[in-house]
Amino acid sequence: MSAPVVIVGGGIVGLSAAYELLRRGRSVVLLEKGAPDHDSCSLGNAGMIVPSHFVPLAAPGMVMLGLKWMFDGESPFWVRPRLDLDLARWGWKFWRSSNQRHVDRCTPVLRDLNLRSREIFLRHRQELPGSFALETVGLLALCRTQETLDHEAVFAAKSNAVGVPTEVLSAAEVRRRDPGIDYAIAGAVMFTKDAHLDPRELVKLLTSEIQRLGGRIVWNAEVTGWRKEGARLKAAVTTAGEFAGETFVLAAGAWSPAAAEALGLRIPMQAGKGYSMRLPHPVQRPKYCSLLMEARVAVTPMGDALTVGGTMEITGNDLSVNPARVRGIRKAFVKYYPAFKESDFTELPIWSGLRPCPPDGMPYLGRTRAAENLVVATGHSMMGLSLGPVTGEIVAQLVCGEPTSVALAEVDPDRHA
Ligand SMILES: Cc1cc2nc3c(=O)[nH]c(=O)nc-3n(C[C@H](O)[C@H](O)[C@H](O)COP(=O)(O)OP(=O)(O)OC[C@H]3O[C@@H](n4cnc5c(N)ncnc54)[C@H](O)[C@@H]3O)c2cc1C
């Protein structure tokens, strides 16, 4: 048997890569620093599959919006001010990328990645044993004010023009489509190709399917370095010993920069912390997942439960919970869904996760000059669940010498090296 492909990281990206490689008959070793019951950003997220997200985070207007939010303790965005050269460089690159030319170049790439991923999710639903609930009913971008709705209607027209279909809905139409749910809104944009699922369910299924197909998952194996000979990696050095392989895949989410740096590769990401809470018995259960546009909060029905999440805090790789920002999420949620009360959230555990955020809002995906047998697959920011399957497919295509489903120029891992 040929030497295995060694994958670093057991989040949605690493698992998707392992699964696609196993489907192609490759042998796989997946190294995960956590235990089998470990948490990761891939577990507590809002579970949205988002062809609607074809605009990268670094876009015109985002820097001004971010600066405005910085002064509100309950706002959805915050950067902890600190003397940190990496953060300063990240901020500079973000600012430089926040222009229309960047958005125009990246839009078709993000659209194609998301649409291809959606197709693979549909295939997963058929082929993963036991299957999982995948709701392909669309996503509602809920607007409290007419001003926001008018603004979103302009975006909806752009979305239609790039091939991501939308409908602009009045408040009455939203209520007609989701009877029995109280919505305090001026209206909404429906992104009909978006979908949602319970990420915990998907991660669990993929993990057991990988093992059933003969993939080896090594838990409590934190990659701390590499053994390299010439231009090729020979082994990943971990807290559980060395793992030799033929090809290596770096899919360690927000922790990827440290592992890459050991190879002289700069992937200058910041962790974007977010929170979620899961209402196990919501007083109402909407049919659709929704984004609360003024508040940047995400709401997703998952089975009988309802997950409410949001915020983006750039505070380093730190999972601590900021109560003011969690309060901001709750306060916003009950404004749009008035049947709920803030007290519904009392005593619920608060989950926090770290999104891997590159400064230009585009993933790092592809081969790198750092080592000829390394594939980098990280930096999916707020779209990692959505883009997990297509990323897994592209990793497997690169390893197996197949053409990739989407061109990779805009996601080149060496672009900031
Ligand atoms: C509140 C919130 C809501 C979100 N909602 C959505 C959504 O609706 N839709 C969407 O598409 N995305 C969403 N996201 C983003 C999404 O969750 C992430 O982009 C995605 O989970 C990233 O996956 P990953 O596999 O790259 O990283 P992770 O899930 O972080 O996995 C990385 C894994 O690598 C392991 N690891 C790290 N370093 C090492 C090492 N040195 N050695 C071995 N193992 C290592 C970690 O333990 C971890 O298990 C949301 C995020 C947040 C915070």
3-class SS letters over 129-196: CCCCCEECCCEEEEECCHHHHHHHHHHHHHHHHCCCCEEEEEHHHHHHHCCCCCCCCCEEEEECCCEE
Predicted confidence (pLDDT) per residue in 270-323, tens digit: 999 999 999 999 999 999 999 999 999 999 999 999 999 999 999 999 999 999
Does position 1 have pLDDT exceeding 70, yes or no? no
pLDDT of residue 129 exceeding 90, the answer is no
Closest CA to 347 of 255, 279, 403: 279
Domains and CATH numbers, the chain: 5-43+201-267+361-411 (3.50.50.60), 54-98+134-195+269-357 (3.30.9.10)
Q: What is the pLDDT of residue 2?
A: 78
Atom in ligand 1 nearest the alpha carbon of residue 352: 53
Distance 155 CA to ligand 1 centre (A): 28
Burial tier of 401 (Cβ tally within 10 Å: 0-12, 13-18, 19+) = exposed
Whether pLDDT at 157 is above 70: yes
pLDDT in tens, 16-74: 999 999 999 999 999 999 999 999 999 999 999 999 999 999 999 999 999 989 888 88
Q: What is the pLDDT of residue 245?
A: 98
Ligand 1 site-directed mutation target among 13, 333, 385, most atoms within 8 Å of CB: 385
170 Cα–ligand 1 center, Å: 35
The continuous run of DSSP H or E covering 325 comes out as helix 323-336
Q: Is the pLDDT of residue 130 over 90?
A: no
Q: Which residues approach ligand 1 with their CB closer than 6 A?
A: 8-14, 31-34, 38, 40-42, 45-48, 50, 222-223, 251-255, 259, 274-276, 298, 309, 353, 355-356, 378, 380-386
pLDDT at 97 over 90: yes
| Distance from residue 40's CA to the centre of ligand 1 (Å) | 6
If one residue of 6, 39, 40 were mutated to test the ligand 1 pocket, choosing by the most ligand atoms within 8 A of its CB, it would be 40
Q: Which residue has the tokens 């053409």?
A: 403
> What is residue 121's three-state secondary structure?
helix
pLDDT confidence bin for 112, thresholds 50/70/90: very high
* Residue 178 CA to ligand 1 centre (angstroms): 31
Summarize pLDDT for 352-404 with one digit per residue, the tens: 999 999 999 999 999 999 999 999 999 999 999 999 999 999 999 999 999 99
- Exposed (0-12), middle (13-18) or buried (19+): which is 400, by Cβ within 10 Å? middle
**Probe residue for ligand 1, chosen from 7, 217, 292, 382 as the CB with the greatest number of ligand atoms within 8 Å:** 382
Closest C-alpha residue for ligand 1 atom 50: 45
Alpha-carbon separation of residue 198 from 82, 212, 301, 360, 371 (angstroms): 36, 22, 8, 28, 36
- Angle, vertex CA 405, rays to CA 102 and CA 49, nearest 5: 70
Q: Are 390 and 380 in contact (CB under 8 A)?
A: no
Which atom in ligand 1 lies closest to the alpha carbon of residue 378? 26
The rounded Å distance from CA 383 to ligand 1 centre is 10
The protein residue with its alpha carbon nearest to ligand 1, atom 3, reads 45
Kindly give the distance from the C-alpha atom of residue 263 to the centroid of ligand 1, in angstroms, as a whole number: 22
Q: How far is the CA of 201 from the centre of ligand 1 (A)?
A: 15
The number of C-alpha atoms within 13 Å of 171 and in the hemisphere containing its C-beta is: 12
Residue nearest to atom 27 of ligand 1 (CA): 253
Name the region of 368 (left: φ>0; alpha: ψ -120 to 50; beta: rest): beta
For 140: left if phi > 0, alpha if psi spans -120 to 50, otherwise beta; the answer is: beta
Pocket of ligand 1, candidates 255, 313, 386: which has the most ligand atoms within 8 Å of its Cβ, to mutate? 255
Give per-residue pLDDT as tens, 209-257. 999 999 999 999 999 999 999 999 999 999 999 999 999 999 999 999 9
Q: What is the pLDDT of residue 81?
A: 86
What number is the average pLDDT over the span 310-339? Answer: 96
